[in-house]
Each structure stands twice: as C-alpha cells, then as structure tokens.
Amino acid sequence: MKKELADLINNQVNFEIYSAHIYLNMACYCGAEGLEGFRNWMNIQYQEEMSHANKLIDYLLDNGYTPKITNWEESPGTDYTNILEVAQISLMHEKVVTERFNYMMTKAHELGDYATINLLNWFIDEQVEEEASFEAMIQKINMVKDAGLYLLDQEYGARTFVDNTKE
C-alpha cells in the first residue's frame, strides 16, 4: 500500500477515536439529563466508533504499516442545549466522516489500490447507515415533540368557562 494512502487511513483511525470521544461525552450529557435510553444508545455509538478505529488499525497492520495513535483535538464537552441539538450535531459530524471516506476512496482509485477500495466500500456503506440513523433520531425527536404539544393542546382545549363572579 502506498504511504500516502496509509497515512490517510491512519489519520482516520485518530478521527474515529475522536468521534468515539464525542459520543461518549454525549452519553455523559444524556446520563446527566436522566435520559438513560439515549445514554445507552450513545454508549453503543462510542463502542462502534472504537470498532471502526480497530478495523482500520487491523488493515494497516495487515499491510505492514504501524499505525500511530495521536490526539485529534479536544472533543466538544457535554455542553448541549437539548437532545435534539445532540442529534443534529451528530448528523453534521457523520457528514464530515462521509466526506473523509469519499476523499480516501478517490485517492484509492487514483492509486489503483483495489484492496483498499474494498475496505473503503465497507465504510462508505456504513456511513449511509450512520447518517440515516441520526436523520431518523432527529425525525423521531421532532415527532415526539409535536406529540407532546398535541397532548398539551388537548389539555388546554378541555378548559371550560366557569363564571366565578357568581360564586
């Protein structure tokens, strides 16, 4: 494998670990907000990102390249406004990941590296699912929000006039 492409994959290893840290922080935010279900989901997302990093590490090692783990940057902390914002930021993040894999795929094609193209195909398919799962989360949160508003509207609609001036 060409060093240029191996370096890009190594770079992505570190970005996947950075992604894992983002989702682990989100899990902490959810836990602090009492959203145990979302916390569970984000913890699994964290594990998934680490498994992505390890899949890339395995590939590099199989190709005689020693991966190097470096800090990416400090991940955004746990300062979110609400769960909708968490889902929206996650979707934006996954779109960046998709762009990164698309770029690596372009390079792999330029270099005629078919084995790496096979590896990247897995990640490009995975990114379709990653984006779709956050799109769905945003839709569901919005639906539930509307359902909550509907229930509140029903409650306020049930008010009847009582002339308390006569009491």
Footprint of ligand FEO (CB under 6 A): 16, 19, 49, 52, 94, 97, 130
Instruction: Closer to ligand FEO by CB, 113 or 130: give it.
Output: 130
**Burial class of residue 150 (count of CB atoms within 10 Å of its CB; 0-12, 13-18, 19+):** exposed
| CA-closest candidate to residue 89, choices 146, 137, 147, 41 | 137
How far apart, in whole angstroms, are the C-alpha atoms of residue 167 and residue 163?
Answer: 8
How far apart, in whole angstroms, are the C-alpha atoms of residue 141 and residue 69?
Answer: 36
- DSSP class of residue 74 equals P
Q: How far is the CB of 99 from ligand FEO (least distance, A)?
A: 12
Residue with tokens 């930021």: 89
Instruction: Closer to ligand FEO by CB, 121 or 143: give it.
Output: 121
Q: Residue of minimal CB distance from ligand FEO?
A: 52
Q: How far is the CB of 45 from ligand FEO (least distance, A)?
A: 7
Instruction: Closer to ligand FEO by CB, 132 or 152: give it.
Output: 132
How far apart, in whole angstroms, are the C-alpha atoms of residue 101 and residue 107?
Answer: 10
Q: How far is the CB of 28 from ligand FEO (least distance, A)?
A: 18
Q: How far is the CB of 15 from ligand FEO (least distance, A)?
A: 8
